[in-house]
């Protein structure tokens, strides 16, 4: 075994790595040494342990980063799974296309987007990323390559979407892009003063706008925040997002820069600045969808201990209780979040057996690691489970096997499609060795 | 811009080609494995390039060169830019590996470039030959000295060819590209340090050279990528032998 510098985005280090295999060409044969479990790895942006495989091997997919075909008339794009969303955006925006679903960073691979069945600000209108995958080619450890879609091998297809890389290696994917009238987003900003205000505002705005999200200040008692709704319009902003961040945090500072007093100051300043920006403004793709991508390695600002991303979803019926309850616990423990995002999900048929979104409210918080955090996370774990909600595997590193089982009714069916040679740290934590 | 790439599956060459594809370059690609060439061609074409032809052949054998070049002329025409990017890093200085190391890195590119040079000159218009040598070719040193010798052979040849072209007032530009430590499949087994560059970065530098040349700039005869290797190698080259021999490297 070798020591490794493979870490999760939140700073969890994989200490023991059996081996790394780096495929370079997709038609080459992939030989995985026996005697250990494997896991494909994309760009390492998962916060928790779903892209780590402690004691096992990693398949680094970033060299399989070729485009295969792009039809600028129909918007169908076929790519190798190591291609980044940033590279796709760079290619297709000048032709009048965009990703139908995008998360808050474009520096993830297509494989990662599918394996986590990522969602964006437009879930209520466009669903998850997996809903836009038309086909994928999956390599299995018995040496076969399986072609999967809703028509051909639909069960394996639905197991692989949101399947956390555990069903095999995605080699290629064909996705349907969506047309945009121009790279301009018309953004409507409104402030709200409480969680109930947010829910009322959201129930109206989501009918009127394709993209909605809210940021809120969880340090104050009544959860004030900023609601941002947007739509693509035929406007004058024409920038195409850059391929690389403008500047980067070069190294990890010895302590976290993003906690305590700085947090309170930032939140207050941001809220008041947003209040001044209430109204309508036209903006570009980069600032609207990917504000954090402008700073490379921003996760380093949390210092060597890293941070925890807490994200869960609960049904609407339970949201008024669970969300203020969790936020209240965090406040009482003196833990705040720099970036607290809340969004509502619409009612959609799940694209994957293990997909995270469900109709209801999702809350996502960055929390610096501190001793006071563990009991709050344990409480959140129970509260979410009892509310029939669940946690997001792409972010998770703290939830319990009970919550996992209760939250994902597709789990038993999913297990039947897992590749026996594949595993991950998350899977071991939430399932033990049972397959 | 018409580009012929010899060793198209080299990580540096793939990165350079991607950049050229964005400017809608036309390509002729040569490498040993056809399936890999197909994958690269599809990628370049999606990015805006045009792959006029490709051939799967072993460039290490000069007997193959004539057929390859005739195919190139038929499918692409005579290129504006030639990139010679193939090479091998022998695992050791074992006697069984030496001849191939010199053949692949030294003698076969020399014969290829000589054959290409005549075709380019016959067109009576400007042309550019970029050949990837290495900082290793600048001075013989204890580790991998057979590789150093082979790259040195290539660099010395390019130096002479450059001189010859200048003397003849030929519109042919010859550039000896010397990457420093580069993270690529060739160096997969080596631990990486702060001086290491990515193959993508080196490929980008190579693409910039051709783009600048096409825009009318004059290029240096030797180009170190990243640029700071010029100063490192200047120092290394001038260390007296009795001192250098005692330095571990």
ipTM of the complex: 0.91
Q: How confident is the model at residue A261 (pLDDT cuts 50, 70, 90)?
A: low
Residues of chain A with Cβ-Cβ distance to B188 below 8 Å are: 22
Cβ contacts of A26 on chain B, cutoff 8 Å: 39
What's the CA gap between A131 and A174, in Å, rounded? Answer: 12
- By CA distance, what is B18's nearest residue in A? A66
Q: Which residue has the higher pLDDT, A303 or A168?
A: A168
Report CB contact under 8 Å: B35, A27.
Answer: yes
Do A91 and B39 count as a contact with CB atoms less than 8 A apart?
no
Angle between helices B11-22 and B199-214 (to 10 degrees): 40
Whether the Cβ atoms of residue B4 and residue B83 lie closer than 8 Å to each other: yes
Q: Do B39 and A27 touch (CB under 8 A)?
A: yes
Please give the residue that has the higher pLDDT: either B244 or A252. Answer: B244
How many helices (H) and strands (E) chain B has is answered by 9, 9
Question: What is the average per-residue pLDDT within B179-186?
Answer: 93
CA atoms within 13 A on the CB side of B243: 6
Q: How far is A420 from chain B (nearest CA, A)?
A: 29
**Residue A289: what are its φ and ψ, rounded to 5°?**
-95, -30
Closest residue by Cα to residue A302 from A264, A252, A268: A252
β-pair partners for B165: none
As a whole number of angstroms, the distance between CA B21 and CA B35 comes to: 20
Mutate to test the interface with B, among A22, A66, A72, A78 (most CBs of B within 10 A): A66
- Name the residue in chain A with its Cα closest to that of B43: A67
Report CB contact under 8 Å: A91, B36: no
- Condensed to tens digits (0 to 9), the pLDDT of residues A369-403 reads 888 889 999 999 999 999 999 999 999 999 999 99
Cα angle at A60 between A59 and A66, to 5 degrees?
120
Strands A279-284 and A184-192: what pairing? antiparallel
Nearest chain B alpha carbon to A63: B11
Task: Tell me, yes or no, if B36 comes closer than 8 A to chain A by beta carbon.
Answer: yes
What is the pLDDT at residue A366?
A: 84
- Spatial distance between the Cα atoms of A435 and A210, rounded to a whole number of angstroms: 40
pTM of the full structure: 0.93
Disruptive mutation site among B15, B35, B46 for chain A (greatest number of A CBs within 10 Å): B46
Kindly state the helix (H) or strand (E) to which residue B100 belongs, with its residue range.
helix B95-102
Cβ <8 Å between A27 and B42: no
The C-alpha atoms of residue A116 and residue A330 are separated, in whole angstroms, by: 27
Measuring CA to CA, how many Å separate A430 from each of A59, A407, A421?
22, 12, 18
pLDDT for residue A432 is more than 80: no
Dist CA A181 CA A178 (whole Å): 10
Q: Nearest CB to B39: which of A22, A26, A70?
A: A26
Name the token pair of A49.
Answer: 């342990």
Query: pLDDT value at position A384?
Result: 97
Compute the radius of gyration of chain B from its Cα atoms: 18
Which token pair is A8?
């999760």
Sign, CA torsion A265/A268/A274/A276:
negative
Q: Which of A215, A241, A237, A217 has the alpha carbon at shortest distance from A228?
A: A215
Instruction: Write the pLDDT tens digit of every residue in A314-336.
Output: 999 999 999 989 988 888 888 87
pLDDT at A242: 76
Q: In angstroms, what separates the C-alpha of B76 from chain A's closest C-alpha? A: 22
Question: Which is nearest to A69 in space by CA: A178, A175, A179?
Answer: A175
> Cβ separation of B36 and A27 shorter than 8 Å?
yes
Whether A3 shows a pLDDT value over 60: the answer reads no
Q: Do B42 and A24 touch (CB under 8 A)?
A: no
pLDDT exceeds 70 at position A1 = no
Q: What is the pLDDT of residue A155?
A: 97
A133-161 confidence digits (pLDDT tens): 999 999 999 999 999 999 999 999 999 99
Restricting to B residues 6-35, those with a Cβ less than 8 Å away from any Cβ of A are 9, 33, 35
Beta bridge partners of A16: A3
The reported pLDDT for the residue numbered A229 is 94
Residue in A24, A28, A69 nearest the CB of B46: A69
């Amino acid at each position: 075994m070798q020591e490794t510098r493979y870490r999760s985005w939140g700073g969890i280090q994989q200490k023991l790595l059996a081996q790394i295999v780096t495929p370079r060409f997709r038609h080459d044969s992939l030989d995985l040494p026996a005697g250990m479990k494997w896991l494909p790895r994309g760009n390492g942006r998962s916060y928790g342990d779903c892209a780590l495989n402690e004691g096992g091997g990693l398949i680094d997919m970033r060299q399989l980063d070729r485009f295969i075909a792009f039809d600028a008339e129909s918007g169908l794009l076929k790519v190798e799974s190591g291609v980044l969303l940033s590279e796709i955006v760079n290619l297709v925006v000048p032709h009048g296309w965009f990703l139908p679903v995008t998360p808050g960073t474009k520096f993830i691979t297509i494989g990662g987007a599918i394996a986590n069945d990522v969602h964006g600000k437009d879930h209520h209108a466009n669903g998850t990323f997996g809903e836009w995958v038309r086909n994928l080619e999956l390599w299995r450890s018995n040496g076969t390559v399986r072609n999967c879609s809703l028509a051909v091998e639909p069960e394996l297809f639905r197991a692989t979407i949101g399947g956390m890389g555990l069903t095999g290696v995605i080699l290629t994917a064909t996705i349907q892009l969506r047309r945009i009238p121009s790279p301009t987003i018309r953004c409507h900003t409104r402030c709200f003063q409480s969680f109930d205000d947010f829910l009322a505002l959201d129930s109206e705005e989501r009918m009127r706008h394709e993209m909605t999200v809210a940021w809120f200040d969880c340090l104050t008692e009544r959860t004030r925040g900023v609601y941002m709704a947007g739509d693509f319009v035929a406007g004058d902003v024409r920038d195409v997002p850059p391929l690389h961040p403008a500047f980067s945090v070069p190294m990890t500072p010895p302590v976290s820069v993003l906690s305590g007093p700085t947090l309170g100051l930032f939140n207050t300043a941001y809220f008041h600045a947003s209040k001044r920006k209430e109204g309508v403004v036209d903006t570009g793709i980069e600032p609207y969808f990917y504000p954090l991508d402008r700073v490379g390695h921003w996760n380093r600002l949390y210092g060597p201990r890293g941070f925890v991303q807490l994200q869960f979803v609960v049904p609407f019926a339970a949201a008024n209780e669970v969300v203020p309850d969790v936020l209240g616990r965090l406040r009482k423990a003196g833990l705040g979040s720099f970036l607290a995002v809340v969004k509502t999900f619409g009612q959609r048929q799940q694209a994957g057996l293990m997909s995270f979104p469900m109709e209801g409210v999702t809350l996502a918080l960055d929390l610096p690691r501190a001793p006071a955090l563990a009991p709050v996370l344990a409480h959140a774990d129970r509260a979410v489970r009892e509310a029939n909600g669940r946690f997001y595997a792409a972010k998770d590193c703290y939830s319990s096997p009970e919550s996992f089982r209760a939250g994902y009714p597709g789990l038993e069916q999913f297990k039947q499609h897992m590749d026996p040679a594949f595993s991950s740290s998350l899977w071991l934590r939430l399932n033990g060795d049972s397959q | 811009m018409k580009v012929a790439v010899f060793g198209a599956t080299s990580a540096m060459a793939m990165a350079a080609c991607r950049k050229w594809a964005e400017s809608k370059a036309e390509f002729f690609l040569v490498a040993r494995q056809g399936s890999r060439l197909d994958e690269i061609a599809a990628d370049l074409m999606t990015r805006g390039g045009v792959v006029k032809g490709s051939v799967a052949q072993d460039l290490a054998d000069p007997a193959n060169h004539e057929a390859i070049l005739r195919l190139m002329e038929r499918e692409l025409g005579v290129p504006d830019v030639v990139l010679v990017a193939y090479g091998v890093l022998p695992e050791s200085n074992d006697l069984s590996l030496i001849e191939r190391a010199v053949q692949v890195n030294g003698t076969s590119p020399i014969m290829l470039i000589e054959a290409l040079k005549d075709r380019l000159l016959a067109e009576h218009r400007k042309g550019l030959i970029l050949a990837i040598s290495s900082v290793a070719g600048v001075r013989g040193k204890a580790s991998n000295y057979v590789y150093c010798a082979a790259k040195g052979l290539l660099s010395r040849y390019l130096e002479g060819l450059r001189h010859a072209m200048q003397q003849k007032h030929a519109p042919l530009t010859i550039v000896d590209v010397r990457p420093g430590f580069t993270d690529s499949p060739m160096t997969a087994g080596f631990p990486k340090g702060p001086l290491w560059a990515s193959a993508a970065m080196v490929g980008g530098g190579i693409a910039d050279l051709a783009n600048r040349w096409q825009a009318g700039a004059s290029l240096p005869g030797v180009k170190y990528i990243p640029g700071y290797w010029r100063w490192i190698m200047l120092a290394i080259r001038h260390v007296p032998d009795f001192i250098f021999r005692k330095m571990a490297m």
